[in-house]
Amino acid sequence: MRDLHLYAQPWWVNLLLLAPAISYAHWRRTGLLLNGRKLAILALFAASFGFVEAVVVVYLRGALVATPAQQSSASTYQQALSFLAQIPQDLRTIEVCREAATMLMLISVALIAGSAAKERWAAFLWTFAVWDISYYIGLWATLRWPASLYDYDVLFLIPVPWFAQVWFPILVSTLAMLGVALSSSSAPLHDRGLGFRSRYAPPRDRDRTGFLESDRLKTLDLPEDGLLPAAAQSIEAAMQAGKTATVRLACLEFLEQASKFYKVPICGVRVLAARPLRVHEHSTTELFGDYDPQTTVIRLWMRTAVRKAVTSYGTFLSTLCHEFCHHLDFHLFRFPDSWHTRGFYERTADLYHHVRGTPRKRLFWVPVSGGRWSIDWQRTRRGG
């Protein structure tokens, strides 16, 4: 057995081990909105890319090293150094550019995959890790190198060459993959199959702090310009025309303005014709809309299920505001989940009355079982 060298060189390369650990600690506290499907597609891209990367090394070695025996012999630090020394300066410059291009490719994919900075960083780590491990598998499959995990490798050339035994990058990548896989949540779709009256019970676990904060936060900052009320009026006009495509465009315009004001990533919207009717054991509920935290897409229904009548503008707009407030919970307030707390309904009401241009009514609350609250609609309508 060859010597196990605990340290990569230069010394700061060892700090890479901290990246998955610190990220994981952060994700456990705040949650991570990346689902299995996205991770699988990223893994497919990264594994293919890792193989391409390995093939580049096969060609490079084939071009630089005279005999096949030499091709698979870089196993000590000295051999790794001397292999690097064989590379002429112009090829080394090309290698540096290729490495930079590789990183840009991994970063670009991560930017598309994640909806916010945290998810983008996780998508980058995940893609990088799968790419890195596939690269070594690809090398082993084509060159039978590395022969062991103790073989030395040149990890990177930017800004100076990084050296480590192969187990080091594989350990960093495995930790990164584990961290992302264990933190990525399959946060449930919000409001699917729920009327607005359904409420979540306060969670007992680590999410409780977020829940209480959501309950406490009873106001929402509102823009001073009239852009949102104007966008809402376009939705009303589009609804009167009755075309779902036009209504969708008007909603998108509204969401664009709102996302810009709150500085959150824009969410998607789909407007569907007839509401599905869900038949439960004891009751029948009609859906108004829902919000998927994974895809950040809001779905709204324009027609009621039973009579196929066009939903009233007030109900439609209130649903849009409600679903957008779920989006804000994740991306503005960074709550680990979005609950129907008193604060949530207060914030939703702030937004709805602002965009509709109606006076803000005070909401009256009555406690119900299990620490939950329900709006007292009679008192709320009466205003006291």
Which residues sit at the interface with Zn ion, rule CB under 5 A?
190-191
Q: Kindly tell me which of 95 and 191 has the beta carbon lying closer to Zn ion.
A: 191
Q: Is the backbone peptide bond immediately before 10 cis, with ω within 30 degrees of 0? A: yes
What is the spatial distance between Cα 268 and Cα 271, in angstroms, rounded to a whole number?
Answer: 10
Q: Is the backbone peptide bond immediately before 159 cis, with ω within 30 degrees of 0? A: yes
Q: Is the backbone peptide bond immediately before 146 cis, with ω within 30 degrees of 0? A: yes
Label the pairing between strands 152-156 and 162-165: antiparallel
Q: Nearest approach, Cβ of 300 to Zn ion (angstroms)?
A: 12
Q: Kindly tell me which of 86 and 186 has the beta carbon lying closer to Zn ion.
A: 186
Contact 152, 80 (CB under 8 A): yes
**Residue written as token pair 């009755």:** 242
Q: Nearest approach, Cβ of 323 to Zn ion (angstroms)?
A: 7
Q: Kindly tell me which of 151 and 337 has the beta carbon lying closer to Zn ion.
A: 337
Q: Kindly tell me which of 45 and 373 has the beta carbon lying closer to Zn ion.
A: 373
Q: Nearest approach, Cβ of 363 to Zn ion (angstroms)?
A: 15
- Residue 9: strand pairing partners: 163
What is the spatial distance between Cα 358 and Cα 383, in angstroms, rounded to a whole number?
Answer: 14
Cα 38 → chain centroid:
9
Q: Kindly tell me which of 156 and 288 has the beta carbon lying closer to Zn ion.
A: 288
The DSSP result for 336-375, as a single string, is: SS----HHHHHHHHHHHHHHHT-PPPPPPEEEEGGGEEEE
Q: Nearest approach, Cβ of 325 to Zn ion (angstroms)?
A: 8
Q: Kindly tell me which of 7 and 377 has the beta carbon lying closer to Zn ion.
A: 377
- Closest residue to Zn ion, judged by C-beta, is 191
Contact 380, 364 (CB under 8 A): yes
What is the spatial distance between Cα 195 and Cα 190, in angstroms, rounded to a whole number?
Answer: 11
Q: Kindly tell me which of 53 and 191 has the beta carbon lying closer to Zn ion.
A: 191
Q: Nearest approach, Cβ of 199 to Zn ion (angstroms)?
A: 9
What is the spatial distance between Cα 110 and Cα 123, in angstroms, rounded to a whole number?
Answer: 5
Could you tell me if residue 171 is left (phi over 0), alpha (psi between -120 and 50 degrees) or otherwise beta?
Answer: alpha
Q: Nearest approach, Cβ of 370 to Zn ion (angstroms)?
A: 18
What is the spatial distance between Cα 298 and Cα 327, in angstroms, rounded to a whole number?
Answer: 9
Q: Kindly tell me which of 155 and 320 has the beta carbon lying closer to Zn ion.
A: 320
Q: Nearest approach, Cβ of 340 to Zn ion (angstroms)?
A: 6
Q: Nearest approach, Cβ of 222 to Zn ion (angstroms)?
A: 20
What is the spatial distance between Cα 175 and Cα 270, in angstroms, rounded to a whole number?
Answer: 38
